[in-house]
Chains A and B, each alone.
Chain A
Amino acid sequence: MSTTAVAQRLQSIWETPKSVWGWFATVDHKEIGIRYLVTAFLFMCVAGVEALIVRVQLARPDQALMSPEMYDQLFSMHGITMIFWYASPILSGFSNYLIPLMIGSRDMAYPRLNAFTYWSFLFSGILVYVAPFMGQAPHAGWFSYVPYTLYSYSPSRGMDFYAMALILFTISITAGGINFITTILKMRAPGMSINKMPLMCYSTMTMSFVGLFGMPALTAACIFLELDRRWGTHFFSPAAGGNPILWQQLFWFFGHPWVYIVFLPATAIVSMIIPVFSRRPIVGYSYVAVSTMLTGAVGFSVWMHHMFTDGMSDMTMSFFSAGSMMISIFTIVQIICWVVTMWKGRVVMTTAMYYALGTIAALVVGGLNGVVTGIIPLDWQAHNTYFIVGHIHYVLIGSNMFPVFAGLYYWYPKMTGRKLSETLGKWSFWIMFIGFNVGFFPMQIVGLLGMPRRIYTYPAGLGWSASNMIETVGAFALGIGILLSIINFVYSRRFGQIAGKNPWNADTLEWDLDSPPEPYSMVHLPTVITRHPLWDNHDESADPNDERILDNGRLTYITTWLDAKVVSIAKMPEETIAPMLLALTMALCLLALCFQLVYWACGGFGATLLVAFYWLWPREKGEEAL
């Protein structure tokens, strides 16, 4: 069979029907990955606008552009949206799109579950954004401490929406984690043993494991919160033997590992980009891989550093302070490996590389002021001030937003077939980078001067006014920088330079495919013998006898988790609308619970079970094809 005929056959097998039904029913990881990226990016834009409104309110002393309640809702929605519905899902988008291509598989291990994770992420985001339209958004910051969030202080429905939307969100993240773990451990190309897989696989796998064991704490906390708010239990009320600190314990037991969920895959993007633009393999591959996994593991033993001001024994404080400092060592290992890679290589300054370097700069500042916050006497001073706000933004923008933009500039040609404008990209980077530093560095100073976080306004004459005005100007500059990149994305989609297969001369398998890749990804499933498949002499797709085509249905290889030896063939499911329906029925069930409509919630639960049964029922279709 000629290659064209094979390609046509594979196309007919793997292509999603171009119809409304096909749009809702697709299980193609590339389609789902792009949807993740676009949806999370839109959430970021919404949350960014909320932040700018907050900054306008804070620009000058004694301002009253909005009511204090409105202000609380705005900064809370900004934090909640950025932390939950942007920072992790956008990385899931990259991993979803790239990991099967990087490891030479035709799809994720559970394509239908993959569709479900996207839809449940989307519906949970819609659920939390129902609340602002009722004028009752969550208003207690992203970590929603009790007792302020209990019914007596928050009688509106905002906190109910917060709790219910987050329960659906944890289901989405957990399901996504299960999918990534199986994909990375079982679906790698023949020969891609675990010490040859791209570093992105290590970080995605680590963050998936962290999600499996960290998310349940958030689920439990949200359930307790809702039970206390509306159903009369006493988890958090001291009068009846409850303990408000229980919320903090559970929330931060989830919350600190979550920092690594939004951090590790982003550092992996940098670990993928820096070697390519330094024109050499990364220095210390094993050290980066091991420090990634150790970050995830040790990340479970630092959560109480968020609670040093609660009061705890010296022993506990010492333990968590030491844990917090230890974890910075693993990040330093990664940063040193990046810097040495550039030092020993020949650096090509593309826009993606600018963003990667911006990451290092911001991460070092954010990391250092994180380490000093781990020192308990300083933490007692800085706690609940703008110093912490400055720290979290340096870390999250440094370790999440800059890597995400680096990733977008780097992989956009693969996803769309066209390169982004480098000139516009560099303008965008510099405006973002300068705006970010102008916007967030003064926060650390006003924090040390004593400005508490989350205040609605402040009187003149405290020495905060000039810094706050500068912060607002910086925040708007950051927004303009992002806007330039958005213009770049839209413009280059139509008019960008045609990219070709491998515009960056990169080393990983996705660059061996067409840009954008076909639905079946590759005609011949690749074999791998080194860490840098496209930089070695081995032809990955060499298959003279057409042995690795697998065109008898939607098929791909299953390999052993350590050595990647082929053991079996995985049959992949067809398009189905069940994942979307399942996410929808779950969201409706939780929406009913926001209003304590028990019968509707039971109906939603029953519908969820029915859809699950429909999803899992064995069907004859496709069996005879084998």
Chain B
Amino acid sequence: MTTNTIAPNRGSKFIPTALPLDDTRGIWAMWMVVATEAALFVCLFGAYFYLENNKDRWTYNTPPAEHWGWGMLGALIVSGFTIWLGDRAVIRQAYLRARALLACTLLLGLGFLIMEGFDYASHWATLTPYSNSYGSIFYTIESFDALHVIVGVLILGYVLAMPRYAPARRAPYRPYRVAAIYWYFVVIVWIAIFFLLYVMPNLRIYGF
């Protein structure tokens, strides 16, 4: 932390002698963005279950096929680990390694989007957003997720292109960590979507 310390103050009862430069505000902001985005997905899930309410056999006859979903889940979970390792590498100042892991995460994210394209295509034969309310909410949630992954990939690409990750005296102070927090959110959202929209309807057909 030597490079980004400011010491114009000599210290007093209230103030320590040398103070580091604040690099936490960006992280706080990203946590709050994640909180509000999570609330948005909770509303979307709420709408999904509200529309399902009082309707016999809404998705039970034809639950969505899961095979692409498992691949997407695998890609995102691995990408969550790679960005986590990358973030640790930044802390240990292994910047080249961090960049390589970031590139891996980005590629896994792109892989997810390609698989999501195939997933869309596989559903489209039997269900469209115009078919019924189930199709509307299903594709809306999927597309919101895709949009978040696209924005996440853009953020990752942007951080990958950034000149340096070393502690700096200029904003943004910790872009890698901020991008990583957003990416963890993207991973967790897909886990939730996959469980609620894919796994649960498929499990429930055994209940009837």
Contacts and interface: CB of A to CB of B under 8 A. Distances in A.
Interface of A: 109-110, 113, 174, 177-178, 181-182, 186, 190-191, 212-217, 219-220, 223-224, 227-228, 231-235, 237, 240-243, 246, 249-250, 253, 527, 543, 545, 547-552, 555, 557-558, 566-571, 573, 609, 613, 616, 618-620, 622-623, 626
Contacts of A177: 32
Contacts, number: 170
Interface in B21-51: 21-25, 28-29, 32-33, 35-37, 39-40, 42-44, 46-47, 50-51
A552 B19 CA distance: 13
B207 interface: no
Contacts of A235: 47, 51, 133, 136-137
25 contacts: A109-B28, A178-B29, A178-B32, A181-B28, A190-B15, A215-B36, A216-B39, A220-B40, A223-B140, A231-B129, A232-B129, A233-B130, A233-B135, A235-B136, A242-B133, A545-B12, A548-B9, A548-B12, A566-B16, A567-B22, A568-B19, A568-B22, A569-B19, A569-B22, A623-B168
Interface of B: 6, 8-16, 19-25, 28-29, 32-33, 35-37, 39-40, 42-44, 46-47, 50-51, 53, 55, 58, 129-137, 140, 154, 158, 162-163, 168-172, 175
Contacts of B47: 220, 224, 235, 246, 250
B136 A623 contact: no
Given A186-B25, A527-B14, A570-B22, A618 B162 contact: yes
A551 B8 CA distance: 8
Contacts of B16: 566
A626 B6 contact: yes
A539 B116 CA distance: 63
A624 to B, nearest CB: 9
B22 A212 contact: no
Given A110-B29, A233-B140, A191 B14 contact: yes
A174 B39 CA distance: 12
Contacts of B42: 216
Nearest to B29: A178
B21 A616 contact: no
Nearest to A549: B8
A545 B13 CA distance: 12
B12 A547 contact: yes
A510 B163 CA distance: 41
Given A212-B32, A616-B172, A220 B51 contact: no
A566 B8 CA distance: 14
Chain A residues touching B, majority SS: mixed
A571 B132 contact: no
A339 B22 CA distance: 43
A547 B11 contact: yes
Contact of A573 (B9, B130, B171): B171
5 A-B pairs closest in CB distance: A216-B40, A241-B133, A233-B136, A190-B14, A568-B22
A223 B37 CA distance: 14
Given A623-B170, A626-B169, A227 B21 contact: no
A598 to B, nearest CB: 14
Nearest to A232: B130
Nearest to A242: B133
Contacts of B134: 241
Given A213-B39, A567-B22, A619-B170, 5 more contacts: A113-B29, A213-B36, A233-B136, A550-B9, A555-B6
A618 B32 contact: no
Contacts of A113: 29
B32 A547 contact: no
Contact of B44 (A212, A220, A227): A220
A219 B12 CA distance: 49
A219 B36 CA distance: 11
Contacts of B55: 241
B35 A212 contact: yes
A623 B133 contact: no
Given A213-B39, A613-B158, A618-B163, A569 B6 contact: yes
A316 to B, nearest CB: 13
A234 B15 contact: no
Nearest to B157: A613
A253 B43 contact: yes
A25 B50 CA distance: 45
A571 B20 CA distance: 11
Which of A243, A570, A613 has most B Cβ within 10 Å?
A: A243
Nearest to A223: B140
Contacts of B170: 571, 618-620, 622-623
A234 B132 contact: yes
B51 A609 contact: no
A227 B36 contact: no
